[in-house]
Amino acid sequence: MHEFVQAFRFIAHNGAVAGGPALPSLSHLALETLKVGAIGVAISVLISVPLGVWLGHVHRGSFIAINLGNVGRALPSLAVLAIGDAFLGLGLTVVELALVILAVPPIVTNAYLAVDGVDPDLVDAARGMGMSGWQVLARVELPLAVPLIFAGIRTAAVFVVSTTTIASLAGFSGSLGDVIANETSYHFSGVLGAAICVAALALAVEGALTLLQRSLTPRGLLMVQREHVLGQAGGVPATRVNV
Amino acid sequence: MTMLAAAGPVIPNYAAQSSSCEVDNHLFCWRWVAHNWGPVLWPALRQHILLALVAVAIGFVIAMALALAAHRYGALERPTTIVTTTLYTIPGIALFELLAAPVGLNVFSAEIALVSYTLLILFRNILAGLRSVPAEVLDAAEGTGMSRTQTLLRVELPLALPAIVAGLRIAVVTIIALATIVYIIYDRGLGVPIHRALGEGPFKTELIAAGGLAIALALLADGLLVLTQRMLTPWARARAG
């Protein structure tokens, strides 16, 4: 447990190594991780949400939308980064490209399932009230789909934090992974301290997005969900929302 | 744990077998792959498969026990979900290092980390599968005089099979992906050649070969499990058709 004490001391000193060279502080690296990750998530959201929502709205392309999610899950981050490195050389562009490749599938899949799965009776009712296709999408389908769409973004964001850190193993510098990939300078206590920070960062991102998701979920839907949980009536199958 | 070797200039000392393709670090040298399949790539691939299989097998046993317990005692579901979700959220690179401190740089820390990532997926899917059995079916089972254990073995588990196999599929693919970074604490798997190639220039052929193998393995495993899923649950296909 001595190692953990040392690791927390390293965190308390914000990543300063006594007698070592001047290295970037932990808080700086954490912010860099978030910055690199946020760019990747933002690009992915811009690509995937419209695509998934549209496919769900027209109820087409289920095979592609669902299997895209499975393929995305199958891609090992390090392998994607390695191949990107071989073809283009490792830099911010390749890291962002890898983040987008890994983050797009879960967002598309969830957005598709979210909109596709909106109760057809509600859509019929909306049409019966005279709403146009766009109005149905904007006022009925999208609000009801928000929780699941957000679940996809949350999954992607946690994935992105992890991959940004792994990028340091591939030789990219500018994330908390730099410390983990450089035991020579930081010693094991530093590596361990950085690992604790990476874990905390991922949990914080997950927590923050969960709160945001809750605040964006329509109140009526929250009440319905609560009834579902109480009544043990299933809700969305686990295999769908997963990962 | 392991460091990036000081990034030297280009290209490995593959001694006598080096050709101009390797020396000049062209994008992909088939000759190198042919020569190094036996000594480098195949052992790494085999270790990778073994790491993943052991993790999924152990994870499955634990998750099944947890799911059966939560199925009978509903109060167990929430705490189990919270713990497994937290484990699942921690990035692999961090969890491996966190386990290396108390457990050491060995197969145990690698497998404990991999197993912990399977738990959430398998637990959630097994439990969802068990709960998806319609109440009328359970009533019928009880009516025919089946005991609780008989109902579980002959009715609930077979009906939960599609959800269970779907969970296995996600778990296998996830673990194959994660096993590429096991090398940071334990010198095994396809991460080893990737890591070495990164330290050598990077040596493009080895990056593409080892990275490609990791991706191909995950996609192949996914495909095989889809087929298994179809074979084990012919009724699902009949219904869909």
Say which CATH number the domain at B135 has. 1.10.3720.10
Assess contact for B113 and B148: CB atoms under 8 A.
Answer: no
Helix, strand, or coil (residue A162): helix
In whole angstroms, how far apart are CA A185 and each of A45, A68, B122, B181?
37, 41, 39, 21
Q: Let me know if residue B42 belongs to a domain.
A: yes
Helix, strand, or coil (residue A217): coil
pLDDT, chain B, mean? 88
Residue B168, pLDDT score: 92
In chain A, what residues touch B132 (CB-CB under 8 Å)? 234, 237
Q: Residue A225: in which H helix or E strand, if any?
A: helix A219-231
Q: Let me know if residue B27 belongs to a domain.
A: no
Helix, strand, or coil (residue B9): coil
Q: Let me know if residue B45 belongs to a domain.
A: yes
- In B, minimum Cα distance to A238 occurs at B125
Residues 71-130 of B with CB under 8 A from A: 74, 86, 89-98, 101-102, 121, 124-125, 127-128
Q: Does B204 touch chain A (CB under 8 A)?
A: yes
CA distance A158 to A161: 5
pLDDT at B7 over 50: no
Average pLDDT score over residue span B49-69: 97
- In B, minimum Cα distance to A69 occurs at B170
Tell me the pTM.
0.86
**CB within 8 Å: B207 and A82:** yes
- The C-alpha angle with vertex A112 and arms to A109 and A113, in degrees rounded to 5, equals 85
Q: Let me know if residue B147 belongs to a domain.
A: yes
pLDDT of B79-117, one tens digit each?
999 999 999 999 999 999 999 999 999 999 999 999 999
**CB within 8 Å: B94 and A202:** yes
Partner residue opposite B94 with nearest CB, options A3, A195, A238: A195
Domains of chain B: total = 1
Work out the number of other CB atoms within 10 angstroms of the CB of residue B65: 12
CA distance A41 to A158: 10
Q: Does B29 touch chain A (CB under 8 A)?
A: no
Q: Let me know if residue B223 belongs to a domain.
A: yes
pLDDT of A118-159, one tens digit each?
989 999 999 999 999 899 999 999 989 998 999 899 989 998
Q: Does B220 touch chain A (CB under 8 A)?
A: no
Partner residue opposite A76 with nearest CB, options B2, B207, B215: B215
**CB within 8 Å: B177 and A238:** no
pLDDT at B10 over 70: no
Work out the number of other CB atoms within 10 angstroms of the CB of residue A62: 14
In whole angstroms, how far apart are CA B202 and each of A2, A172, B9, B180, B240?
37, 12, 9, 17, 49
Compute the nearest-CA separation of A128 from chain B (Å).
30
In chain A, what residues touch B179 (CB-CB under 8 Å)? 76
CA distance B55 to B178: 11
Q: Hey, what are A109's tokens?
A: 């899949």
Q: Let me know if residue B26 belongs to a domain.
A: no
Residues 53-82 of B with CB under 8 A from A: 74
Residue B4, pLDDT score: 44
Q: Let me know if residue B93 belongs to a domain.
A: yes
pLDDT at B14 over 90: no
Query: Which range of residues forms the domain containing residue B83?
Result: 32-240
In chain A, what residues touch B127 (CB-CB under 8 Å)? 238
Q: What ipTM goes with this model? A: 0.84
For chain B, the helix, strand and coil percentages under 3-state DSSP, each to the nearest 5:
80, 0, 20
Which residue type occupies A14? N
In chain A, which residues have pLDDT < 50? Answer: 228-243
Residue A232, pLDDT score: 32
CA distance A176 to A27: 9
pLDDT at B129 over 80: yes
- Which CATH architecture group holds A36-241? Orthogonal Bundle (1.10)
Assess contact for B70 and B122: CB atoms under 8 A.
Answer: no
Best probe of the B interface among A80, A239, A240, by most B CBs < 10 A, is: A239
Q: Let me know if residue B20 belongs to a domain.
A: no
Residue B5, pLDDT score: 43
pLDDT of B208-230, one tens digit each?
999 999 999 999 998 898 888 88
End-to-end alpha-carbon separation of chain B, Å? 52
**CB within 8 Å: B207 and A85:** yes
Compute the nearest-CA separation of A199 from chain B (Å).
5
In chain A, what residues touch B86 (CB-CB under 8 Å)? 203
CA distance B147 to A161: 48
pLDDT at B132 over 60: yes
Helices B42-72 and B204-232, packing angle to 10 deg: 40
The rounded percent of chain B whose pLDDT value lies above 90 is 68
Residue A241, pLDDT score: 33
